[in-house]
Structure 1
Amino acid sequence: MLPLEGITVLEFAQFMAGPSAGLKMADLGARVIKIERPGTGEAGRGIALKNIFIDESSMVFHTANRNKQSYAANLKDPKDLERIKKLIAQADVMTHNFRPGVMEKIGLDYNTVAAINPKLIYGVVSGYGPVGPWAKKPGQDLLIQSLSGFVNLSGNEADEPTASGLATSDIFTGVHLVQGILAALIERNKTGKGAKIEVSLLESTLDIQFEMLTAFLNNGKQLPKRAKQGNAHAYIDAPYGVYKTKDRYISIALTPLDQLAKAIGVSLPAEFVDQTTWFDKRDDIMNFLAAELVKETTAHWLSIFEPMDFRVSDVYNYKEFLAHEGYQALQMDQDVLTSDGITMKTTRCPIRIDGKRIFNKKSAPKVGEDNRSIDNEFNLNAL
């Protein structure tokens, strides 16, 4: 039995942040019912990566919505709205990511919903939080990365602002939403009362930058400075970074510079001996190391560094990594099956419980696929 079995989640969310939270709860055993507009469903069904679609929905929609059910309802229709309110009365959790004021206009704001079901956990995702000059602006991952300063951490010193190659703001916001909901469910077990949980893309993106912001606030408000070449962290001393070798690349993490130089077989210049210089002279040190590391292959350096327990790694692409026995041992991928019988390969839940991996074969639902069964089970037609 999975930990969240018996928990019913109503997901009014779209795109990535809210649905990714629903995905994690579904993986852990919750029953997640997407409430979607009839016909077209949530807007995320049309957002595609490389224009890849599985049945009539995009592949990216399938990645964030597997193992869920779909209930189609027109929230502007009084009868459909009453059905949804009956469903809310029997649910444990409800999530949405509408802009401030939208749910109030529909009649599904927190105060109204809490009156229907005082035990409900009401989760809200916004772009910028509920107050302030940006509150009603549309939140989107790239915009949040750009606004928050996150784009000034990746890449090298001479690069333009560089966004993460992932929907980083969305995904971390989804993680924070799950954390808040799980905390509220635990509190409900003590008090019998529900709660309103609020997260925003901006606050979550600031939170994952807590190292950088703390350094900025306590170091004379000096802006982070990326290394000239091989940057991996704007505030960590050399040799931390990515280096070119004779045939590939190698990443070097928290490894003492003097020990690394000795292992390479070179003497550390006198100007770098003092450990207090390893940050201020980071670029010069990294240039010095780069000139040595490029002389031999990655495999050569790993054969020296790994037996010494240095924090180092090869640099793989997806094709290389997924073919490696280290990845295969994880059994991280799984096949899911759509209601049309289409098989899609995707990743599994990363959490193990009592040593057991969690696999779920159910793909994302079609719009309204589960209306009939949900109507019957929750007695929604008896209005």
Structure 2
Amino acid sequence: MPVTADTPGLLDGLTVLDFSQFLSGPFAALRLGDLGARVIKVERAGGGDLCRGMYLTPTDDMGRDSTLFHTINRGKESFAVDLKDPDGLAQVRALIAGADVLIQNFRPGVIDRLGLGQRAVAEINPRLVYCSITGFGTEGPWVARPGQDLLAQARSGLMFLNGDEGQGPLPFGLAIADVLAGTAIVQGALAALVRRGRTGQGGHVETSLLDCLIDFQFEVLTTYLNDGGRLPERAGYRNAHAYLSAPYGIYPTADGYLALAMTPLDRLAPLLDPLELAGLGDSAPFRRRDELKRRIAAQLSERATEAWLAVLEPEDIWCAGVLDWDSLLREEAFRRLDMLQELPRPEGDAMHTLRAPIRVDGARPRGRAAGPALGQHTEAIRQEFGL
């Protein structure tokens, strides 16, 4: 049966309490919601998730919740409460007693001071899967530092894999630490739910932005650790991977850019100008990497991207045109993915956003609505739980 907004998902019947803000925790809750779980977003009364006021573009209406908030919190319910008020805290404890998963990304120690740390909550609901995301773990000198994506990237060593040699550190243009941490929490939560199905016991799943950024580099860090601690050298020209030689990289063409992946030079050379590449073969892949890349770039710049694809793809050269968002959305391959959806906002208008990147029994889950208004479901949830 196709999975739609009106049919059960894989996690139908499970309740997730999302105490988190910004991206990492809310992203994890979003994915569990995409899989069919009910997600109740527990927010500060009077303010809510700080992401509600995080406006990224001039077209975002600053008189309402940001598009970013709706993107990360679509389909959730909002329960507004003052956690410092004894009555509000009692209501939250009642919600916890009936929940299956709790996600929080407070700074270490904050949620414990509220009386909602993992050990305290386990006494309320021993079957609960409790999920914690921090910036830099729960021990060590960085514990109290702000757990923000760019700062985590800066401390992870990741930035020195991007850009050309001598360029200096270069961050990813995405909140990659947040998304990776959210993904890791979903994996851990699902595994803990499987264990609970066997034993009846919940558990504590933890990760940090730094954990996930270090794990993201597992391939190259393993190389470094087994290479005597020698740091990799980025290419000085068109670097794309510090440990891979030419032609691996992105090259300008007459009308755009072309990506070349792992391709033996003796297969690529006859399709370009063999004389230009003579003497720069695999025998010295790194010693003359920049020189070889410059010669390849000079030839690729003479023709359009599609012209090169017509030459290289039939010869099984691993290559691709480099697309921006406008060109990506015009591609038939993108249309076939069926990744776009339109969801209603509480204000009444529609928001265009993406769907989950998975299919269940051949169908991609659809959302029901954008993010909730602050406290939109508080009274209904109180009545439902008898608060």
Please indicate the TM-score interval, normalised by the length of the shorter structure: over 0.9
Aligned to 2:217: 209
How far has the Cα of 1:237 moved from its partner?
A: 2.0
* Alignment of 1:338 onto 2:342: no
* 1:9 counterpart SS class: strand
Indicate if the aligned counterparts of 1:121 and 1:196 stay in contact, CA closer than 8 A. Answer: yes
2:159 aligned partner, one-letter code: V
CA distance in 1, matches of 2:231, 2:39: 43
Can you list the C-alpha shifts for 1:259-300, whole angstroms capped at 9, x where unaligned? 011122424745323x24223322122112112211222111
CA distance in 1, matches of 2:76, 2:283: 53
How far has the Cα of 1:55 moved from its partner?
A: 6.1
Aligned to 1:75: 83
Can you list the C-alpha shifts for 1:314-356, whole angstroms capped at 9, x where unaligned? 0111111111222112121110101221101011111111111
How far has the Cα of 1:211 moved from its partner?
A: 1.5
* Alignment of 1:41 onto 2:41: no
Aligned to 1:167: 175
Aligned to 1:289: 296
* Length-normalised TM-score, structure 1: 0.96
Can you list the C-alpha shifts for 1:180-216, whole angstroms capped at 9, x where unaligned? 1011001111110000010100010111011221121
Can you list the C-alpha shifts for 1:120-162, whole angstroms capped at 9, x where unaligned? 0000000000111111211100001111111111222232311
* 1:319 counterpart SS class: helix
* Alignment of 1:359 onto 2:358: no
2:268 aligned partner, one-letter code: L
Indicate if the aligned counterparts of 2:276 and 2:295 stay in contact, CA closer than 8 A. Answer: no
How far has the Cα of 1:224 moved from its partner?
A: 2.4
* 2:177 counterpart SS class: helix
Q: Which of the numbers 307, 316, 320 marks the counterpart of 1:313?
A: 320
* 2:240 counterpart SS class: coil
Count of residue correspondences: 379
For the aligned residue pairs, the C-alpha RMSD in angstroms reads 1.4
CA distance in 2, matches of 1:308, 1:112: 62
CA distance in 1, matches of 2:63, 2:239: 41
CA distance in 2, matches of 1:220, 1:71: 53
Q: Which of the numbers 33, 38, 41 marks the counterpart of 1:31?
A: 38
Q: Which of the numbers 107, 123, 133 marks the counterpart of 1:115?
A: 123
2:328 aligned partner, one-letter code: F
CA distance in 1, matches of 2:362, 2:245: 37
Aligned to 2:264: 256
2:307 aligned partner, one-letter code: H
* 2:207 counterpart SS class: strand
Indicate if the aligned counterparts of 1:258 and 1:268 stay in contact, CA closer than 8 A. Answer: no
* 2:380 counterpart SS class: helix
CA distance in 1, matches of 2:313, 2:152: 39
Unaligned runs of 5+ in 2: 1-7
2:161 aligned partner, one-letter code: L
1:5 aligned partner, one-letter code: D
How far has the Cα of 1:7 moved from its partner?
A: 0.8
CA distance in 1, matches of 2:244, 2:62: 43
CA distance in 1, matches of 2:46, 2:30: 22
Indicate if the aligned counterparts of 2:251 and 2:297 stay in contact, CA closer than 8 A. Answer: yes
Aligned to 1:146: 154
Indicate if the aligned counterparts of 1:35 and 1:73 stay in contact, CA closer than 8 A. Answer: yes
CA distance in 1, matches of 2:93, 2:207: 24
Indicate if the aligned counterparts of 2:19 and 2:41 stay in contact, CA closer than 8 A. Answer: yes
How far has the Cα of 1:54 moved from its partner?
A: 7.5
2:24 aligned partner, one-letter code: A
CA distance in 1, matches of 2:246, 2:121: 54
* Length-normalised TM-score, structure 2: 0.95
Aligned to 2:5: none
Aligned to 2:385: 378
CA distance in 2, matches of 1:117, 1:335: 37
Can you list the C-alpha shifts for 1:223-249, whole angstroms capped at 9, x where unaligned? 222212221111112111001112211
Q: Which of the numbers 187, 192, 199 marks the counterpart of 1:184?
A: 192
Q: Which of the numbers 253, 267, 285 marks the counterpart of 1:245?
A: 253
Question: Percent identity at matched positions?
Answer: 44
